[in-house]
Amino acid sequence: MELYSLTISEARESIDKGNITPEELTNAVLKRIENVEDTVKAYVTITKEHALASAKSAENGNRNAVSGIPIAIKDNLCTKGIRTTCSSKILENFIPPYESTVTQKLKEQNYILIGKTNLDEFAMGSSTENSAFGHTRNPWDITRIPGGSSGGSAAAVSADECIAAIGSDTGGSIRLPAALCGVVGFKPTYGRISRYGLVAFASSLDQIGPITKNVRDSAILMNVISGNDPYDSTSARLPVPDFTSVLGQNIKGMKVGIPKEYFIEGMDKEVETAVKKAIEKLESFGATPVEISLPNTGYAVATYYILATSEASSNLARYDGVKYGFRVGGQDLMDMYMKTRAKGFGAEVKRRIMLGTYSLSSGYYEAYYRKAQQVRTLIKQDFEKAFKTVDVIVTPTSPTPAFKAGEKTDDPLKMYLTDIFTISVNLAGVPGISVPCGFTSKNLPVGLQIIGKHFDEESIFKAAYAYEQGTEWHKRKPKL
């Protein structure tokens, strides 16, 4: 077995036993990047020298869960002294003077930052085609998209260009690419993990989470990065359980909700078949499927694209060419603002800023933004009602497998509907995971989404691990 294909727990065991060193593991991953990165294009920045220096110091440091483990970080999390671009021209040369809380927690455990991964610009997109630094490709079929916006992180994990990665999820941006790349993606409860140092897209929806090769690694990373943070007022003051403690527990008697609104017309037949077989597999382990209804699901996409764009319009106002980032000179201040933004932002970011500004403008605020907030409450109540009768909810992660690059770029609405099964989770603030549950006839991965109650990540891990251990899907690798 190649060293780069190890999981976090396998690498940890090998390092602890003295079979390999962090330096050997890091070199193996860097060699793998050298061999496949030109094909996959998962990274914006590869931090080779930094990684090798970290590997040397990890040799003698404390042996924590992730010490000496090469991990990739999505390029919208600030890394002190290392370029953080958000895949945007406007931040092309931005080097943060501080560390995000999540990367700081990893740093304290002596992790190895192997590189910063590509994303849709400012995390706005579902295909990683909106990056100022080129498209990331799906390792299973390089003519197809890896999903977005954490497409670089998911593709890097899938292609063994890192042992694990960190992504962010505003409307499905961890789970969707994880599903389309055949890996595990976890979106925690809103507030479980500090967002300090995550470049904001939509502050009431953004959440950071792990993308890994299996469920155990996801739980390991969650243990490291979770917890309250005085720098983030939205992070919850709750104790962090040991998420690995529930792995392997029996799921007999667990009630699994199957929402009828998630098995819809237009859904790919092979995706539907794979997900239904996964539900049967959970049933064979003693779980009880229960049909439920989440009646406001149909309004989720419209609600999300009003709220997320409104928050984006407000958050992105800071990129004006004055304080930091890219600048284009102008005849006066207003001219400079306009030229800087016209050249610094890509088409999708401009589209969303315009949509959000319109929704917040006087005369439209009540009709759009306020109405969307009211519908968001109804969506949240749907989940609360469902969780009175079930322990977890199971759905497809994506309505289709990975589509061809360029297939939906001319039709934003079609692209937005890619997130139809993931968006409600962010609107309600509940946690969700995507685990591999099959492949199509064209050998494209299919993802199963398991959703849990607020701050009940353990039930998700319990169900996801039971399913994973009973199947072989997570062991399949793309041929690169």
Q: Are 167 and 197 in contact (CB under 8 A)?
A: no
β-strand 112-117 against 43-46: which pairing, if any?
A: antiparallel
pLDDT band at 1 (very low <50, low <70, confident <90, very high): confident
pLDDT of residue 7: 98
Residues annotated as catalytic are 74, 149, 173
pLDDT of residue 260: 94
Asked if pLDDT for residue 133 goes beyond 80, the answer is yes
Q: List the structure tokens of 3.
A: 């060293």
pLDDT of residue 454: 98
- Mean pLDDT of the 301-317 span: 96
In this structure, the chain runs to a length of: 480
- 262-270: Cβ within 8 A, 24+ apart: 262/294, 262/297, 262/395, 262/396, 262/421, 263/396, 264/399, 266/399, 267/396, 267/399, 267/400, 268/399, 268/400, 268/401, 268/440, 270/401, 270/438, 270/440, 270/441, 270/446
pLDDT of residue 273: 97
pLDDT of residue 59: 86
> DSSP of 336-396, one letter per residue?
HHHHHHHHHS-HHHHHHHHHHHHHHSTTTTIIIIIHHHHHHHHHHHHHHHHTTT-SEEEEE
> If residue 209 lies in a helix (H) or strand (E), which one and from where to where?
strand 207-212
- Mean pLDDT of the 8-23 span: 96
Q: Are 79 and 73 in contact (CB under 8 A)?
A: yes
Q: List the structure tokens of 337.
A: 């603002």
Asked if pLDDT for residue 435 goes beyond 90, the answer is yes
pLDDT in tens, 76-120: 999 999 999 999 999 999 999 999 999 999 999 999 999 999 999
Q: Are 420 and 263 in contact (CB under 8 A)?
A: no
Q: List the structure tokens of 286.
A: 């003693």
Q: List the structure tokens of 117.
A: 């991964």
- Please give the Cα distance from 81 to 94 (Å, whole number): 9
Asked if pLDDT for residue 325 goes beyond 90, the answer is no
* Average pLDDT of the chain, as a whole number: 96
pLDDT in tens, 328-377: 999 999 999 999 999 999 999 999 999 999 999 988 899 999 999 999 99
- Please give the Cα distance from 431 to 183 (Å, whole number): 17
Q: Which domains are assigned to the chain?
A: 3-253+461-475 (3.90.1300.10)
Give the rounded percent of residues in the chain with a pLDDT score beyond 90: 94
pLDDT of residue 19: 96
Asked if pLDDT for residue 403 goes beyond 90, the answer is yes
pLDDT band at 56 (very low <50, low <70, confident <90, very high): very high
pLDDT of residue 323: 83
Backbone angles phi, psi at 99, to 5 degrees: -105, 140
pLDDT in tens, 202-249: 999 999 999 999 999 999 999 999 999 999 999 999 999 999 999 999
pLDDT of residue 405: 96
pLDDT in tens, 251-307: 999 999 999 999 888 899 999 999 999 999 999 999 999 999 999 999 999 999 999
- pTM for the model stands at 0.97
Residue bearing the bigger pLDDT, 413 or 158: 158
Asked if pLDDT for residue 60 goes beyond 90, the answer is no
pLDDT in tens, 149-173: 999 999 999 999 999 999 999 999 9
Asked if pLDDT for residue 63 goes beyond 90, the answer is no
pLDDT of residue 252: 97
Handedness of CA 433, 436, 438, 439 (dihedral sign): positive
Give the rounded percent of residues in the chain with a pLDDT score beyond 70: 100
pLDDT of residue 61: 74
